Amino acid sequence: MKRLLIGLAVFALTVLMRVFGQPQQEDSAQRYATEGQAALTRGHYQDAEKAYAKLRELQPAVAEVHANLGLIYFKQGKFEDAVHALRQALKLKPTLTKSDNLLGMSLSELGRYEEALPSLRKCFPRLSEPEIKRLCGLELLRAYTGLKRDKNAVDVAMELDRLYAEDPEILYQTGKIYGNFAFLTMRKLAEVAPNSLWRHLAAGEAQESRGSYDQAIQEYREVLRLEPSRPGMHYRIGRTLLSRYWQRHLPDDTAEAQKEFEWELQLFPSNANAAYELGELHRSARHTDEAEKYFEQALEYYPGFAEAHLGLAAVLVEKKETEQALVHAQKAVAANPENEVGWYRLAQIQKALGNTAEQEKAIAEYRRLHEEAARQKGIEPRGSPFSSPSEVTRQTADPSSDHY
């Protein structure tokens, strides 16, 4: 981790001493720079953020200050803030290559794959530092997968395999990409790291896909035993508990799932999926204030999360805040225009507002998508190998009160 930080950090204290001019300002700047650099090196990101924020106030024209703030935000999962800081750094000094690399990774984390691609495509083939190159490659793989550019994703996966032949995480991610070749790749994973968390994660996913939820939960808990703070694992257990509930209707499963999602958010507040699932559980229980809070938390970290926009729209309709519900329904449709539920909910809201023409447009699009889905019934869309909003409880249309 420290080597990765050093590779991503873009400046040292000597740089600051060359750019700060006024003696009094220089003393303050040096103090904040020293504090911030020390906190960053130790991984104390909140302290580092405070110091560099003060430094930015003193020297807003110093590109390196914005660049290191971008790094700090990235490490905390504050990707929107990271994008803003890194773009400011590059505006002031376009030659900050590492900031451009980090910008691409931040955009990818936000699901803004088209914007991320130019930086990631430069980053992955040109970098020499193995750890940063590896991270950039994984983000490039994520971007191509999110854009459904399967050929490009396979090419990147093959290059990652060549460079990191015995890296368990790389083997796991490329196994998901290869599809038909997943079995052979997972077998190599078992040979290279038979006791690794990645093998247990792969086994858990395999059991989950077969509907063997008890065994899947056991495998996921083994992952947590090996790495208690593994991101996303409490979320995965929660999702599996929900699946088991719908399979066997065990009365305690939803309550246990809620606890897992809450635990995930305690460890990783930026996990938009966990926040969304809590919002949906509270919405189903008609706890509208709690549901609204969690949907908003999901959208804070993932602004383009269509399902969260739909969930929040439903809550706002329940609270008679129809104008605000319309805003979120429109955002959901813009983020995922192929989702028939988005158009259905938008039609309901337009009807409530008396916007007949807009209601009819939404109804027409809903019907078109609904009929197309009916023709393709039984064909599951391909998903992403990464934890993303494609792996959450889907919003559904309830045509019991409206006949479209």
Q: pLDDT per residue over 255-308, tens digit each?
A: 999 999 999 999 999 999 999 999 999 999 999 999 999 999 999 999 999 999
Specify the 3-state DSSP secondary structure of 112: coil
Give the model's pLDDT for residue 63. 92
- With a cut of 60, say whether residue 5 has pLDDT above it: no
Mean pLDDT, residues 121-138: 90
**Which positions ≥6 away from 143 have C-beta within 8 Å?**
108, 113, 116, 117, 120
The highest-confidence range among 10-19, 35-44, 175-184, by mean pLDDT, is 35-44
CATH of domain 310-377+387-404: 1.25.40.10
pLDDT-above-70 percentage for the chain: 86
For the chain, domain boundaries: 1-110, 310-377+387-404
Q: Give per-residue pLDDT as tens, 330-386.
A: 999 999 999 999 999 999 999 999 999 999 999 999 999 989 888 876 544 333 323
Model pLDDT, residue 380: 42
Residue 158 CA to residue 172 CA, distance in Å, equals: 13
Q: Mean of the pLDDT values across residues 152-175?
A: 92
Angle at 59 (CA atoms; ends 54, 60), nearest 5 degrees: 95
Render 207-238 in DSSP notation, one character per residue: HHHTT-HHHHHHHHHHHHHH-TT-TTHHHHHH
Residue 26 confidence (pLDDT) above 90 = no
In terms of average pLDDT, the best of 20-24, 125-129, 145-149, 269-273 is: 269-273
At 165 the pLDDT is 92
**Pair 365, 157: CB distance under 8 Å:** no
Least confident of 7-11, 45-49, 168-172, 215-219: 7-11
Task: Choose the weakest-confidence range: 186-195, 203-212, 216-225, 261-270.
Answer: 186-195
Residue 6 above 60 pLDDT? no
> What pLDDT, on the 0 to 100 scale, is given for residue 13?
40
- Topology agreement, domain 1-110 and domain 310-377+387-404: yes
What is the per-residue pLDDT for 382? 35
Looking at per-residue confidence, does 1 or 219 come out higher? Answer: 219
**Distance, CA of 241 to CA of 230 (rounded, Å):** 18
* CB burial readout 95-111, b (16+ within 10 A) else e: ebebbbbbbbbbbbbbb
CA distance 44 to 46: 6
Tokens of 54: 């003060």
CA angle 228, 71, 87 (to 5 degrees): 140
Question: Can you tell me the distance from the alpha carbon of 404 to that of 344, in angstroms, rounded to the nearest whole number?
Answer: 8
With a CB cutoff of 8 Å and minimum separation 6, the contacts of 43 are 1, 2, 5, 75
Q: What is the pTM of this model?
A: 0.64
313: which 2 tokens?
A: 């729209």
What is residue 32's predicted lDDT score, i.e. its pLDDT? 84
The answer, yes or no, to whether residue 4 has pLDDT greater than 80, is no
Confidence of residue 131 (pLDDT cuts 50, 70, 90): confident
pLDDT at 337: 94
**Residue 320 DSSP symbol:** T
The first and second tokens of residue 69, run together, are 């703030």
What CATH number was assigned to the domain covering residues 1-110? 1.25.40.10
Least confident interval from 17-21, 91-95, 171-175: 17-21
Residue 345: burial class (beta carbons within 10 Å; 0-12, 13-18, 19+) = buried
**Mean pLDDT (whole number) for 20-49:** 77
Which of 54-63, 150-159, 176-185, 316-325 is predicted most confidently? Answer: 316-325
How many other β-carbons are positioned within 10 Å of the β-carbon of residue 187?
A: 12
What does pLDDT average to over the chain? 87
